[in-house]
Structure 1
């Protein structure tokens, strides 16, 4: 009998015989331990989450999970991450809704580590949705400066923005355009990530139904698109800059051959540089495939096989651009409308008792009639391509009375000193289910009627209304309702690379 299917899938995990009979069999010559590879693909994949470091340490997150009966294990080669039992559905827990963690497969977290990020860099995530790697990049930049997250799909951009808002990201502008045609007017970047759409062979452990749907022609069909994305990334990279190209597939056509073709197009401009991931077992990139000899420096690329690290499969190449190449023009800055943005900030600070200089690190601007967006003061998006969103949707001004969004409450709430209610366990569940509930005597006496922040175990969950009638009304977003530890959460994306491009 097959083990049960992983979370989110109705398909049973494959058997070694099914793996051997699938198109994956063409990789047998690349592996001295084929049986171990096939066996790994037949085991469920552990859930992995990383802690939002501005909100909670990984140690405190592990302790919180343990108190809730969830066994968490550290990942030696991912210091900020924890592995959980594979049946854990992270998005159904209050701590996930509170933006304390994000669920992302271990190997999916590795490309961002190889970008060599430091605050002050201008960064482009060319194929960003649903946003796990984007959030990693944003936080590595200390949630400051300019990060552009692009995706071709409007629906996926919405999922991406939801994740960024939940995690409190204010240094990112989202754009929805074909990454292969990213405009020169958008400027050049110090760092670029191309996590390319691919045949997704490496995600089989999370998406076992793929075993019967692998298309042998998919790698050759997808490779031109991947070359176009990587080509554009080379063009948009600043002299001396670094880009990371990654896929979650084993196919050389989408990996080494794609990189080799771009190296041939730009022989004097870019080079592959050695990539190292301490503690991660990796295999070198291929230098020969299907009768074609490839550049020797492709051995600097990384192949990550599922059985070596109990993970999915991945490919990563790190390229750098020659510092002597000509730089492109600086981008035209976006014309953001400050309107009355900053006028709302002192009122919020006074209502919630924030430090007088709290807003010094932010800029507010009016992007839509609904209200204000908040972004890092040093975030400078380009005029083109047109932004889907710049910063975090922060304050609804089209309602009476105006109110901060849940994402905003999670950003400024930790420093609030008034109009703040600590919930009991039962009140927490009522709040997350969008139900009205009664305050305790102490809660009622300590707060005036009106909008209040609500917290649980010191962590901000969002905004509520304390009515004069003596009840608390939840303003938790309807698309997130049901996040109670045992409930069902709607609209919370958790994993990257889930949708195969077959």
Structure 2
């Protein structure tokens, strides 16, 4: 029997646009929840089992008619798709309708873990844009880093900073996305255990935390820049009230978004005239969600410091060594950090210097590998990237072998090549092995290995 929804929550939602208490309770009692994924347009698409249906407000999102074991799907580990809740994919519309995605943009995803919205944003940006994906909690930044590596894009940086640290980058970003920590009532259907953790007191704490995050990162947004705020909460305090607070405390103008009638998204207006958008599971195929966009009317443009410590460039020998590993169709700027060679769009190397001078960086661009005395040691990040050259030796494996590899078990490949080999499943890269005369060493990251069996 599904757990009962908190009466205090139900009472607090009465009168909100689009709320229907009976339908709301019924959809939560049904126990049914849609499963959705978003494909990675930079990689060969994988066809999930069963029937798929496009998510109407998403270019790359699909509903599945059944929920497979994603853990046991090698395509998932290859980064060909991301499992994401459908309502939150509406972020795409907020971006497309407020900015010109064909132009280079500098974007901050302030509360990015586990990486759903960051991977979505990256898929929409131009190759010469820059995405900074930040997570303040150290225990969560590792999963963000893993998901961004699997996504395989070169124009991303992962940081582990408090939102207040971004005040040092005044007027730097064109777009800031704040998917704020919240009381989580919008996820009750997907995560029933969250019901026991909900309380009005926690809503109040989240309301205060959301204000602090927004106040801390607001200075980093340039004049005419866009801030997109979202939560997975139904509570007015965390949604319309925060939008009112933004428009009261800062010189922020609301951005109204166009909705299609068939989407069944509810438009709501705050007391200050700000436009917000509510998602209810009894009205559409998705979970509870709120989103709003505002434009910054004050501020200025960012001034690049005159003196910056530019990233160290790899030497001529190192550059020659990596050329055979990288597709010539992927021109990049290269830099060295802690003996590892990285690739980032050439136009963003100065931005890297700016970020390094102000933030703690966990990952920048694509880690290609290390140039040793007689050999190049490729990094797993290179295997996950479209940058890897098609001429690199590869080994095609079946599903059972792919799962063995992903469990970091020993493989016995039938290949005459000796040295580094790219393991592929149905044309999708999984990682590296190094073949020796009597064995093959498995270089899949041990902290990512899957433990689940069939």
TM-score (norm 1): 0.80
Following superposition of structure 1 onto structure 2, how do residues 448-463 of structure 1 map, counting pairs within 5 Å? Answer: 448-463=417-432
Q: Distance in 2 between matches of 1:49 and 1:430?
A: 25
Q: RMSD over aligned Cα, in angstroms?
A: 2.6
Instruction: Determine helix, strand or coil for the equivalent of 1:316.
Output: strand
> Which residue does 1:111 correspond to in 2?
91
Which of residues 354, 357, 362 in structure 1 aligns to 2:332? 362
Q: Contact between 2:10 and 2:21, CA under 8 Å: does it hold in 1?
A: no
CA deviation map 1:110-148 (0-9, x unaligned) = 224312333401111111112111111122113432222
Specify every segment of 5 or more residues in structure 2 that has no aligned partner in the other structure, as ranges.
none
Cα displacement (A) at 1:334: 6.1
> Which residue does 1:465 correspond to in 2?
434
Following superposition of structure 1 onto structure 2, how do residues 164-175 of structure 1 map, counting pairs within 5 Å? Answer: 164-175=148-159
Q: Contact between 1:120 and 1:144, CA under 8 Å: does it hold in 2?
A: yes
Cα displacement (A) at 1:189: 1.4
Q: Distance in 2 between matches of 1:335 and 1:46?
A: 49
Q: Distance in 1 between matches of 2:315 and 2:408?
A: 29
Q: Contact between 1:341 and 1:366, CA under 8 Å: does it hold in 2?
A: no
> Which residue does 2:14 correspond to in 1?
28
Q: Distance in 1 between matches of 2:374 and 2:142?
A: 26
Q: Distance in 1 between matches of 2:301 and 2:338?
A: 32
Q: Contact between 1:341 and 1:364, CA under 8 Å: does it hold in 2?
A: no
Whether 1:201 and 2:185 are equivalent positions in the alignment is: yes
> Which residue does 2:243 correspond to in 1?
259
Q: Distance in 2 between matches of 1:375 and 1:92?
A: 32
> Which residue does 2:34 correspond to in 1?
46
Q: Distance in 1 between matches of 2:373 and 2:408?
A: 19
Q: Distance in 2 between matches of 1:185 and 1:453?
A: 40
> Which residue does 1:493 correspond to in 2?
none
Cα displacement (A) at 1:101: 0.6
Which of residues 274, 277, 286 in structure 1 aligns to 2:256? 274
Q: Contact between 2:266 and 2:277, CA under 8 Å: does it hold in 1?
A: yes
Which of residues 426, 442, 449 in structure 2 aligns to 1:481? 449
Q: Contact between 1:119 and 1:140, CA under 8 Å: does it hold in 2?
A: no
Q: Contact between 1:421 and 1:453, CA under 8 Å: does it hold in 2?
A: yes
Q: Distance in 1 between matches of 2:56 and 2:301?
A: 40
Task: Provide closer, same or farther for how the CA distance between residues 206 and 342 of structure 1 changes in structure 2, counting only shifts above 3 A.
Answer: farther
Structure with greater contact order relative to length (CA < 8 Å, sep ≥ 6): 1
Instruction: Determine helix, strand or coil for the equivalent of 2:193.
Output: helix
CA deviation map 1:214-273 (0-9, x unaligned) = 11112222222212222344332222221111111011111111121221123xx32112
CA deviation map 1:322-366 (0-9, x unaligned) = 3xx34154244863532436643432333x5x55x345x222222
Task: Provide closer, same or farther for how the CA distance between residues 281 and 451 of structure 1 changes in structure 2, counting only shifts above 3 A.
Answer: same
Q: Distance in 2 between matches of 1:341 and 1:307?
A: 59
Q: Distance in 1 between matches of 2:215 and 2:387?
A: 43
Q: Distance in 2 between matches of 1:19 and 1:86?
A: 26
Q: Contact between 1:183 and 1:385, CA under 8 Å: does it hold in 2?
A: no
> Which residue does 1:389 correspond to in 2?
363
TM-score (norm 2): 0.88
Q: Distance in 1 between matches of 2:401 and 2:137?
A: 38
Instruction: Determine helix, strand or coil for the equivalent of 2:258.
Output: coil
Task: Provide closer, same or farther for how the CA distance between residues 40 and 345 of structure 1 changes in structure 2, counting only shifts above 3 A.
Answer: farther
Following superposition of structure 1 onto structure 2, how do residues 87-106 of structure 1 map, counting pairs within 5 Å? Answer: 87-106=67-86
Q: Distance in 1 between matches of 2:147 and 2:374?
A: 27
Following superposition of structure 1 onto structure 2, how do residues 418-429 of structure 1 map, counting pairs within 5 Å? Answer: 418-429=392-403
Q: Distance in 1 between matches of 2:133 and 2:315?
A: 24
Whether 1:249 and 2:233 are equivalent positions in the alignment is: yes
> Which residue does 2:163 correspond to in 1?
179
Q: Distance in 2 between matches of 1:154 and 1:260?
A: 31
> Which residue does 1:410 correspond to in 2?
384
Q: Distance in 1 between matches of 2:84 and 2:63?
A: 10
Q: Contact between 1:128 and 1:151, CA under 8 Å: does it hold in 2?
A: yes
Aligned residues: 441
Whether 1:240 and 2:224 are equivalent positions in the alignment is: yes
Instruction: Determine helix, strand or coil for the equivalent of 2:177.
Output: strand
> Which residue does 1:491 correspond to in 2?
none
Following superposition of structure 1 onto structure 2, how do residues 208-227 of structure 1 map, counting pairs within 5 Å? Answer: 208-227=192-211
Instruction: Determine helix, strand or coil for the equivalent of 1:205.
Output: coil
Q: Contact between 1:170 and 1:392, CA under 8 Å: does it hold in 2?
A: yes
